Structure 1
């Protein structure tokens, strides 16, 4: 599904009469509208005289979409003997929209944020190749947190434009781990989208679920204000202050809402496993599902210990992947957020699951009967 046009989005916000307080209530309370941001023009709020830093006009995009599809998850492990996997990724530097009218120069693995999930079994071998096209502007590499080896493989995969490099490693310890670019300016590369997840299933596998979803959280540090139209450049100063212009799931503000690519559809009475890769590069997430709890929580990607049960909100540090499961007994939206709620109401960090099904008044009666 394509994003709504910038004109449609602005019309929607104007028609809804959304101010900051109303948007905040809409994000948290939630009926039929996702009622999201930008709730106000932060640039104008911060600078009533209209003297905020000017930006170049929005750049021509070479990628219509940067946000990875959360449903694009590899199939569960169904083998019980060690295998060898051939995995190749290509670095792609692309210009795309953070939100309509706001462009940014992203850095990605395979053109999406987060990069593709790699899924193997403990004891498997991975032959990994990283390619950096000739038209790239920067060197890149790959640091797998699941790898024993110098830099998690980064030392031997650092490549200039037009080069490629290969490493071979055994997936020795189970868990779900982050991977990311780790060149000297790694904060820029990660913030701009170069991170993902590698899932190393225990030898006995993972419990069966009905559906799996994969999200990546990160911060975008730019020379503009949230909601300011034009082309946003990476800002070292904003990164040093750890003051992001946007925070996003999968690279784009509010991508998985009605005003983006649409809510992620799930069915009633499913068990859904979610993976959150927090690329950061700096800020921890207070990961929460509004209207639900983490029925099973695999803290810090630990898939071997018994999961925690019925956890409302959990910290996910930058450089960490956490897995959690929810149940879906009643229909309606489940809003996936960072419970540092200004990030939700003002900076773009919201995704919505839509549970399809019939009301069950024994569990929840929306009419209060």
Structure 2
């Protein structure tokens, strides 16, 4: 009997494509939205292509822009709020010299923050860019309705859909693409936060920041220069190449570091897109004065680290008393090497009553 020899690369392509088909068949069996034969063929093709060798990166490769914090709602009555999002597939840097084709809402990871108040009626239109290579939709965890909106918003490239919903529950919620295979769309960057403020609004603070963690699964080797594809096999094994805040390594450092001044109160809206990992969110050198676990209405005080599940979110608040750099981390600290770090830069006068150095150690290092 003749023996068939398969290369590692060929086997990897076959496994990736087969994995997509299995996921799609399972999703179809459960009646999830957006299932069609063209979509299945398209995603299988993506998986096979992604498992191929790393390609040269575009010459004009840059990082994605950072999404802005939506302004506070304030003390106003309920109203109609119109929101427009567009699914866009863009090539950008995830690490120095490492390019990736992100699937996004409005060209950023995370997508735009949607901010409304309890009792608002929200009219949301989702467009899918004509340049997209797959159908997309949106599931908002703040929505009460089939699929969180996903059942009605699955759109082909160049098409759009509109839903309307009542913002019934105050809190902070994840939204994401839910087109099968759902985990693939999320792993490519399709997630964001919707903040539903309570009646009367959230208490005023000095600084607000918008941070989301995601895990990314790339073909080729982590750090290898060039344009990488998506690796289905690694995603199913829950073994990400990168775990990052806001879409790329170092996205919240240097010129893009979060900034505050001593004496100010900071609020961070923090969510986890996933698709797989839970975050142990911690700011090194600070204690959270208040935390809304999973965005709940009931706050807790004096928290060192808060657990945020995939598809979950929280609000943390704290006053900064001492100048210096404070590192945002997932305290599953092996993920630091995969990019899960950001910096909060605090400026202002020293505060020796709170913290002072009596004698320096003989070596540099530490956080």
TM-score range, shorter chain: 0.7 to 0.9
Q: Map Cα deviations across residues 53-98 of structure 1 (whole Å, 9 max, x no partner).
A: 98434321776332524xx211111243111011001111001111
1:341 to 327, 333, 342: 333
Q: Map Cα deviations across residues 92-130 of structure 1 (whole Å, 9 max, x no partner).
A: 100111112111110000000100111111000001000
Structure 1 counterpart of 2:258 = 264
The 8 Å contact of residues 284 and 327 in structure 2, kept in 1 or not, is answered as yes
Structure 2 counterpart of 1:320 = 312
Q: Which runs of 5+ in 1 are unaligned?
A: 1-52
Q: Which runs of 5+ in 2 are unaligned?
A: 1-50, 361-367
The 8 Å contact of residues 62 and 94 in structure 1, kept in 2 or not, is answered as no
The 8 Å contact of residues 213 and 275 in structure 1, kept in 2 or not, is answered as yes
**Partners of 1:264 and 1:58 in 2: CA distance:** 32
Structure 1 counterpart of 2:169 = 173
Structure 1 counterpart of 2:90 = 94
Task: Return the offset for 1:229.
Answer: 1.6
Task: Return the offset for 1:367.
Answer: 4.1
| Larger gyration radius, structure 1 or structure 2 | 2
The 8 Å contact of residues 55 and 231 in structure 1, kept in 2 or not, is answered as no
1:1-369 correspondence to structure 2 within 5 Å: 55-60=53-58, 64-69=62-67, 72-258=68-254, 261-302=255-296, 304-305=297-298, 307-344=299-336, 346-368=337-359
The 8 Å contact of residues 180 and 195 in structure 1, kept in 2 or not, is answered as yes
**Partners of 2:61 and 2:159 in 1: CA distance:** 23
Superposition TM-score, scaled by structure 2 size: 0.82
**Partners of 1:62 and 1:153 in 2: CA distance:** 36
**Partners of 1:58 and 1:365 in 2: CA distance:** 50
Aligned with 2:233: secondary structure?
helix
Aligned with 2:147: secondary structure?
helix
**Partners of 2:71 and 2:302 in 1: CA distance:** 26
Task: Return the offset for 1:152.
Answer: 0.2
The 8 Å contact of residues 75 and 199 in structure 2, kept in 1 or not, is answered as no
Superposition TM-score, scaled by structure 1 size: 0.81
Count of aligned positions: 310
User: After TM superposition, what 4+ stretches of structure 1 lie above 4 angstroms from structure 2?
Assistant: none
The Cα RMSD (Å) is 1.6
